[in-house]
Amino acid sequence: MMLKDAAPRMDKMWWHYPHLRNLNFFLFGAIVLQATNGYDGSMLNGLQSLAVWEDYFNKPTGASLGTLSSGTTFGGLLMLFPASYICDKFGRRWPIIAGSILTIIGAIIQGVAQNFGTFWAGRFIIGMGLALVNNAGPMLLAETAYPTQRPVLTSLYETSFPFGALIGALITFGSYYIDSTWAWRLPSLLQCFPAFIQIGLIYFCPESPRWLVAHGKIEEARAVLVKYHGGGDEDSLLVRLELAEIRAALQSENIKKSGKWIQWLKTKGNRHRLAIILFIPVITQLSGNRIISYYLHLILNGINITTTKDQLVINATLLASEVVSAVAIASYCEMFGRRRFFMIGVVGMLISFIPWTILSAFSQEGNFSNPGYGIGVVAMIYIFMIPYHVVAPLANLFLTEVAPYELRSKASALFQLMGQIIGLFSSYVNPIAMDAIGWKYYIVYCCVIAVEIVVVYFYFPETKGLSLEEISVIFEGEAAAVGAGAYRHGDMEDPAADQPRSLSDEKLGMEENVKSP
């Protein structure tokens, strides 16, 4: 029996059931983790349009601008591999709280900075905090969420990026009217606000049942599952099946000593997993989106839209459209599947990026004589971000599904490492290349997206409808000890294996059965 078959049906929406309402409320603290990341790029974008910020830091361009924007990248690189160890050692909750505290400290230093070095140091500390929370957050969501809601909740994690970016854009736009250094200090200080929400919610959030089982805390894991997945029913079939699957999978992984780094190369399945994990950041970070997130100012300058107010308005409205599209796509990720959405996203990005490149060429080569080309470029940027947000919400969901438990924190570290390397490349190369060759640089991204289409088509499997443990079958074959197979082979005692009950017999600890949303 698969988990989706054991999950009781819901007659009402999930918020009518106290155990799901409480669980999702606490998990919201993990969903908003990317808001700080999104705020960062949007804020830096907006600050480049503020004369008071440019004057204070001597109009940074090229390598200087790249150094400022890469402060968070360097901090993230320093913390990446320690973050993997910390998450394995201390769980998922406490690393998020520790990372949030680091983010608050960094934002304060950034906001009170007196020079270039101090501003960069604040961003470096923020990057360290982001590495911790971004390592632990997706794992907490994937490993703790109610089984039928796991895909949507994990996908919503990435949607907080454009939401945070929108808040950053609006705050920076508002500070346009402040005639002092507070025009950039205030947005810099407010970057720490999401971290307070994270700390307040994650402190009360349950720990990952899979982490608890892996550390021998079986009864604590069972208590979490009974309270938040079984609605208090000690005899819940769903809880018993979940716990049995987790224990069977972890027992199998321990036998194979799959927690070591070298295990990524030991089997064909793990090599396939590794290739996917390293390639996902290419799609989410190297498809042209980072030049929009961090250098929209330069793009708009390149099509002769140079006024501060116009740039800030375009930035804010673009991000508002991103939030809507990201949430809409994340809500339907389970309906259409991962691979199909990845294909729609990468093809859509290429279709919009080609005319973006052509119109930019006409605009710059024509010395901006036809403003219609510039308007067309802006329109293509808006359109581009829709298919991008078809792909972006799937990144962390697919990462947590592809990686087995014992390698999941390491997978997160590798995922972030690849993303940070690409981010470092983008921070230095993008502003220099855009200044040097203008629209011709966009051709590089068209070629990269074309390669992405080929890789997704041939190498990305479909994981729709499977639990984290059941997905192992895709990579390891039927020998993977998951679900009912584990029971048949006697790997795990399951009191319901011989006499499975129908859902109508399942006691939920509620007055009504629950129907899947």
- Tell me the percentage of the chain whose pLDDT exceeds 70: 88
CA neighbor of 303 nearest in space, from 231, 260, 341, 357? 357
Q: Does 257 score more than 60 pLDDT?
A: no
> What pLDDT sits at residue 513?
36
Whether pTM exceeds 0.85: no
| Residue 142 to residue 135: CA distance in whole angstroms | 12
Q: Both tokens of residue 314?
A: 């375009």
Q: Which domains does the chain have, with CATH numbers?
A: 17-207+256-469 (1.20.1250.20)
What pLDDT sits at residue 501?
39
Q: Is the pLDDT of residue 108 over 80?
A: yes
The pLDDT assigned to 199 comes to 95
Q: State the SS3 of 85-119.
A: HHHHHHCCHHHHHHHHHHHHHHHHHHHCCCCHHHH
Which ranges of 32-61 does DSSP label H, i.e. alpha helix?
Answer: 33-47, 51-56
Q: What is the pLDDT of residue 254?
A: 56
% the chain with pLDDT above 90: 30
The predicted pLDDT at position 498 comes to 38
Predicted confidence (pLDDT) per residue in 119-165, tens digit:
999 999 999 999 999 889 989 998 999 988 888 888 888 888 888 88
pLDDT in tens, 342-401: 999 999 999 999 999 999 888 877 877 787 888 888 899 889 988 998 888 888 888 888
Is the pLDDT score of 289 beyond 60? yes
